[in-house]
Amino acid sequence: MTVNKERYKMNMQKVVLSSIVCLLILICSSNHLYSQQKIFDFGRLNYLNNPNKSIIDGDLLVSLNSKSFLAPGESQFNNYLVRYSLIDGSIQESKPISLGLENESYFVKSMYKNGEDIVIVSKRLELIPNQVTLTKVSGHEIKVYHEKANSYYERILEDKYRPLIGNTFYKIDPTRFWGDVNYQIQKLYKISVDGDSLDKALVYNLKTQSQYTVDYVVYDDANYFTVLNIYNSLLFEEGVDDTLSKFEIYRINKFNLSVDTLIIENEFTYLSAKTFEVNNKFYVAFSKQDSSVKNVYLLDNKITIFEYDIDANKLEKVVDFEFKHKVELENIHYDKYTNRVYFYGNASTNKKTYADLTYSDYWLAEIDNNFNIKNEFSWSWSSLDRLKENIYNLNSDEEGLIISMGEYDITNSIPYKPYFFKMSRDLVTNIDEISDNSLFTVFPNPTSDLINLNSIELPYNLELYDYTGRRVIEQSGIYDKDLRIDIREFPQGIYTLKVESKGVNQSKNVIITK
């Protein structure tokens, strides 16, 4: 009996040691990312529309949303400030927020952190459409600053704003004039917080006589304010041979109002400018098309990055990107924790474009600090053809990426189903990409109920492992090229799907959400 007890004790010690070794291998293996994954859906408020803006504030994600539907008699767009926990995704607070005068509608232009405050700059939509308000959120206190006096009306184009420097920020209003010669007047305003109000002063009129402006961007620092006009005059003309771009850069000195001009001719059409800043350097990204393309809504897979030196008033091309899919770039996020840049928006993965009124999928690309494409992937959570699935905002904290997504019904022009999703950076870095020599593809990914598996080789065997390395599904000798796997019984997390066919093994990560 004593010998059996000793043998049992030795066997248990071996089992424990083996378990520890297996656990260490699981944690340290590059094929398993589960030990430090934190993935969850944030709480949802179904009466809210896709988020206008969202920022990180300590351990909270603060989102500004508009109400999806107005009650009978409501004339104001009701805006809600929602605070989410970055620890577990729960909703900490949801309350209406005033952005201006009662019973008036306002459009949010920018939202950012300024010291300990959250600053929201909004534009009035009715009666005086260029009137600005500034809302400061200090903890749970909210204060709205209005312009002192503004009774003039102008139908301006897309105005642009810069963040506060001290108590002052700048906005520029472009107004187009038609005649024998087409030109624009771009009015630069200096807006300062003065007591309980905003003091707005016109500091410069910039007249540009050139081609039609498709897009423009603005930058500023303590000394200069820069306007970068992107012209594609021939884009809308009939019987034109090309659509070459031209950049006109106007740098305005904030102290003496002198202007430096820089004009650059380009051999390509540059559209849909998006900006980002890294280590006090300004960058602008363009969707790039060859000069034969005349459809501004035609997506392409090429994006060009330029760097702008505001002190030298110099613009230089950094890199040309070519992605796997035709993409619509929503915006760009710089992740200060890793020095990585993330491009996001939506992609047409069925070789059609948004102009064809076909659906698009969520799209995300990771760029390293040397401007190399490290990873690119897209996914879909809906099979409806009329839906445009788009990433609207992307933020980051020390643990990972916080993605704001939503579906847009192209046919009925209805945005709906907004939600946030938190994912580990490791998932982005190690996500499996579909390649020509891939044994199989899986979709949708992430998923909450079913996995669709398309296999190239028959027969095949498959196994599904959960985050602990435990095998939860095993099937052998499958002759079905299009297999549906029910995963509704499994908890959310990252799973590994392994497929073996004719001696070749491949694995893909699958995200299960609830």
In tens, the pLDDT along 272-287 reads 789 999 877 899 998 8
State the average pLDDT for the chain: 77
In this prediction, residue 114 carries a pLDDT of: 94
In tens, the pLDDT along 164-185 reads 999 999 998 887 766 666 677 8
In this prediction, residue 332 carries a pLDDT of: 94
Token reading at 205: 């009129």
- Kindly state the helix (H) or strand (E) to which residue 14 belongs, with its residue range: helix 2-28
3-state secondary structure 18-38: HHHHHHHHHHHCCCCCHHHCC
Which among 275, 282, 210, 288 has a CA at the least distance from the CA of 248?
210
Mean pLDDT of all residues in 159-163: 90
Which among 365, 424, 354, 422 has a CA at the least distance from the CA of 389?
354
In this prediction, residue 215 carries a pLDDT of: 72
In this prediction, residue 219 carries a pLDDT of: 92
CA distance 108 to 135: 10
Per-residue pLDDT at 297 exceeds 70: no
Which among 195, 82, 216, 93 has a CA at the least distance from the CA of 134?
195
> Would you place residue 22 in the very low, low, confident or very high pLDDT band (cuts 50, 70, 90)?
very low
Per-residue pLDDT at 196 exceeds 70: yes
Mean pLDDT of all residues in 88-108: 85
Instruction: Classify domain 35-97+210-430 at the CATH class level.
Output: mainly beta
Q: Are 39 and 511 a contacting pair, CB within 8 Å?
A: yes
**Domain at 435-514: CATH architecture:** Sandwich (2.60)
In tens, the pLDDT along 388-430 reads 788 888 999 888 899 888 777 666 556 556 678 888 777 665 4
